[in-house]
Amino acid sequence: DQQVKQNSPSLSVQEGRISILNCDYTNSMFDYFLWYKKYPAEGPTFLISISSIKDKNEDGRFTVFLNKSAKHLSLHIVPSQPGDSAVYFCAARDTDKLIFGTGTRLQVFP
């Protein structure tokens, strides 16, 4: 049973536009959420996180929004750049381990 879901396997966005990656979760006890980015043949790298006591966290071009009532979070990248092309994983902390979604492949084209 998938507790963290990324329903869009892929997303294609033009350079300079906004990329919005979505993530849904089922467990209301999750209290911390993270986004990771993964390039081919590399391990995932941490991008941005948000605590459940907040509804927004911003870091440069990256903003994560959390809607606890909807059990939904999203990652906004603006403006998108070709170097942002990668697979993005949403993760939720379950007590002391991370539960990951299946990932969304983002392609930013010129």
Partner 1 sequence: GAGVSQSPSNKVTEKGKDVELRCDPISGHTALYWYRQSLGQGLEFLIYFQGNSAPDKSGLPSDRFSAERTGGSVSTLTIQRTQQEDSAVYLCASSSQGRSDTEAFFGQGTRLTVV
Which residues contribute to the site for partner 1 (CB under 8 A)? 6, 32, 34, 36, 41-46, 49, 51, 89, 91, 95-103
Min CB(29)–partner 1 separation in Å: 14
CB-based contact 74:68 (threshold 8 Å): no
Q: How far is the CB of 15 from partner 1 (least distance, A)?
A: 27
User: 32 vs 65, which CB is nearer to partner 1?
Assistant: 32
Task: Give the Cα separation of 104 and 94 in Å (integer).
Answer: 21
Question: CA–CA distance from 47 to each of 69, 97, 110 (Å)?
Answer: 24, 17, 23
CB of 77 to partner 1, least distance (A): 18
What gap in Å lies between CA 104 and CA 30, rounded to an integer? 21
Task: Rank residues 74 and 102 by Cβ distance to partner 1 and give the closer one.
Answer: 102
Q: From the CB of 16, what's the least distance to partner 1, in Å?
A: 28
CB 62 within 8 A of CB 48: yes
Rank residues 25 and 89 by Cβ distance to partner 1 and give the closer one.
Answer: 89
